[in-house]
Amino acid sequence: MNRTSEHYKMRKFFSIVYKEYLQLIRDLPGLTILFLMPAVMLVVITLTQEKVLIGRESGMKIIIVNADASHLGNRIESELKANISFKLVTYTSQKEAEHDVFSGKYQMMVVIPEGSTERLLTPARLRIQDTSGGKKTDEQAGIIVMYDPAVMKIYKDMLVSSLQLIIESTAQRLFMEKYSEELKSDIAQQIANYKKQMLLIDLDDEIPDFPYRKQVMQQIQSAVEKKAEEPVNIKFPVNPLSYRNLVKIEETSAGNSSYDLKPDIIKNNVPAFILFAMFFIVLPLAGSIIHEKQQGTKDRVLILPVSGFTIFSGKILVYLIICILQFLLMIGIGRFIIPLISHLPPLTLNVDLLALVVIVIASGLAAIGFGLLIGTFSNTYGQAAPLGSVIVVILAIMGGIFVPAFMMPDIIRKISIISPMRWGTDAFFSIFARGAGVKIVLPQLLPLLIFFGISLLLSANAFSKQK
């Protein structure tokens, strides 16, 4: 009896285990959440942190325009090429380089003007002659560092600091090499002049005989030898490095100077989290679709002579209004709330309003299309909610919401192009940070609309066929 009872309990236990096993393997979205999300986040964030924190390749791309084409320009170019913290590209046209930096293709550019080497080395020659500290020259080699205004200030400052260190250390080495060369030549000349003064004319041939001539000649020779034993009084120049910096680095932003093109954390974070908030409407939108399936509302609606597009049109309008309200909320926080609780400046709306409106609508439609896909192809809210949330987080990571895309490893940066959030954030950054118009953001606008169109087509078709 006891054996039968124990056997029955074990059968119940294994039956429960088998039931849970069947439920688990049938819940593919749940399994995806369990394995895919932590794996993707681990890989992306770890690789990005490894490059940023350990100081390896950051993904930042820099242009150099070497108009100097001499010692200073060539050495700075070599030092930048040898630095693995960023990628260096050489341009010959400053105007073309500035255009590519302003468009976001590159994060920064370094311009070494013509004649920079001469302006650096001329003071080295002049200071060799300065033994009193009186001669100085106010002319410095000027180098321009120009950055993309859409780059966050923390990353811009980090990159500018690295560039300044490389440029100034290179200029110091070149200056000291020239200074040492000139100093060596000057000292050799001083010694030669001193020795020349010590040279004796052959007095035996020049001075005629006179009483006590031999004794006089011996006295003269003794005096010369005594003078030659005295140390040479070399005159050294004063303060060879009297400047704090040997080069003057001018830091400025690329683009239209009439627009406020300064990096600002508000201009970066507000647009990013506008997209993040919009795409989270996947939860209520998918929940609405699944609720209609479970309550039978969908079946009653499908009896009507209407298409899936018509059925979804009402949802699209309502949730588009929600997206617009989310946008206004984030803008309000950036303009009024954050300045009250921090030292950050308010978000400025000195932007192209038409471009802003168009991108807000396109981004909202893309988020709605994503919600329609999740809601249509999920059977329960238990599937849709975690699956939608996880995909949103992954798209946000890949799209540069948390870490700028240019800081990511190459392979992840290339994959991130498929993220609708990447298209939206790039467009918002261009509008808020670069003052871009509709024409500039067209490459991001079209993919957002295409993504919405494809999502709507797939969702409406599947919704109409489901029973």
Asked whether residue 173 carries a pLDDT value surpassing 70, the answer given is yes
The residue written with tokens 């499908």 in the block is 302
- What is the pTM assigned to this prediction? 0.67
| Judgement on whether residues 306 and 241 belong to the same structural domain of the protein | no
More confident residue, 162 or 201: 162
Which of 22-26, 49-53, 202-206, 453-457 shows the highest mean pLDDT? 453-457
Which CATH number does the domain housing residue 142 bear? Answer: 3.40.1710.10
User: Considering the domain boundaries, does residue 44 fall inside one?
Assistant: no
| Judgement on whether residues 295 and 435 belong to the same structural domain of the protein | yes
| Judgement on whether residues 249 and 289 belong to the same structural domain of the protein | no
> Looking at residue 357, what is its pLDDT?
95
Domain stop point among 205, 223, 253? 253
Asked whether residue 355 carries a pLDDT value surpassing 90, the answer given is yes
User: Considering the domain boundaries, does residue 9 fall inside one?
Assistant: no
Residues ≥6 apart with Cβ < 8 Å to 12: none
User: Considering the domain boundaries, does residue 20 fall inside one?
Assistant: no
User: Considering the domain boundaries, does residue 201 fall inside one?
Assistant: no
Residue span of the structural domain in which 431 resides: 265-465
- When divided into structural domains, the chain yields a total of 2
| Judgement on whether residues 412 and 303 belong to the same structural domain of the protein | yes
Summarised one tens digit per residue, pLDDT across range 252-293 is 888 755 455 555 677 777 888 888 889 988 888 888 888 777
| Judgement on whether residues 245 and 323 belong to the same structural domain of the protein | no
| Judgement on whether residues 240 and 309 belong to the same structural domain of the protein | no
User: Considering the domain boundaries, does residue 175 fall inside one?
Assistant: yes
Closest by CA to 150, choosing from 258, 51, 253, is 253
| Judgement on whether residues 59 and 144 belong to the same structural domain of the protein | yes
| Judgement on whether residues 272 and 358 belong to the same structural domain of the protein | yes
| Judgement on whether residues 302 and 242 belong to the same structural domain of the protein | no
Q: Quick one: average pLDDT of 215-224?
A: 70
User: Considering the domain boundaries, does residue 11 fall inside one?
Assistant: no
> Looking at residue 53, what is its pLDDT?
42
Summarised one tens digit per residue, pLDDT across range 299-324 is 565 555 556 566 778 888 888 998 99
Q: Quick one: average pLDDT of 329-335?
A: 88
Return the minimum-mean-pLDDT range out of 35-44, 170-179, 404-413: 35-44
Rounded CA-CA distance 448/444 in Å is 7
Residue 134 confidence class, pLDDT cut points 50, 70, 90: very low
Asked whether residue 411 carries a pLDDT value surpassing 60, the answer given is yes
User: Considering the domain boundaries, does residue 8 fall inside one?
Assistant: no
| Judgement on whether residues 173 and 93 belong to the same structural domain of the protein | yes
| Judgement on whether residues 248 and 324 belong to the same structural domain of the protein | no
Closest by CA to 443, choosing from 461, 417, 405, is 417
Asked whether residue 451 carries a pLDDT value surpassing 70, the answer given is yes
User: Considering the domain boundaries, does residue 198 fall inside one?
Assistant: no
| Judgement on whether residues 356 and 240 belong to the same structural domain of the protein | no
